[in-house]
Amino acid sequence: MVLLASSGIIWLIYLAFIVAYVVGLWMTYTKAGKPGWAAIIPFYNLYVLLKIVGRPGWWLILFLIPILGFVIDIIVMLDLAKSFRKGTGFAIGLIFLPFIFIPILGFGEASYAGPSAGPATGDGDYYSAA
């Protein structure tokens, strides 16, 4: 009986972390001027995150490549920290403890400074005819 009760508590704690992460991500998107509901749509949330940090949308494909996806995630988290005027230490927190640092970013006093990786374009084409 004790084991059953403790596993229920563990599930509640796990659920609380998930809710805090999703709400924190929602608030982060809102701070960046994007729709908050985009945080809960699979794949679209990554696309919007790429636009927030200033990376081209086709990078979404790179997330699907096994080892490269991890490297791209690190780059995007570094860019996300820079986009909110945070340092490398905060970026490391975003990489290794996102369920703690995303809510800090969303609910904290950090403000969006714009895409850190340059202007995000809709088609990924940086060479426009001017």
pLDDT digits (tens, 9 = 90+) for 23-61: 999 999 999 999 999 999 999 999 999 999 999 999 999
Tens-place pLDDT, residues 92-115: 999 999 999 999 999 999 999 989
Helix H or strand E encompassing 111? none
What is the chain's mean pLDDT, rounded? Answer: 88
pTM: 0.82
- Torsion angle in degrees (nearest 10) through CA of 72, 76, 82, 83: 150
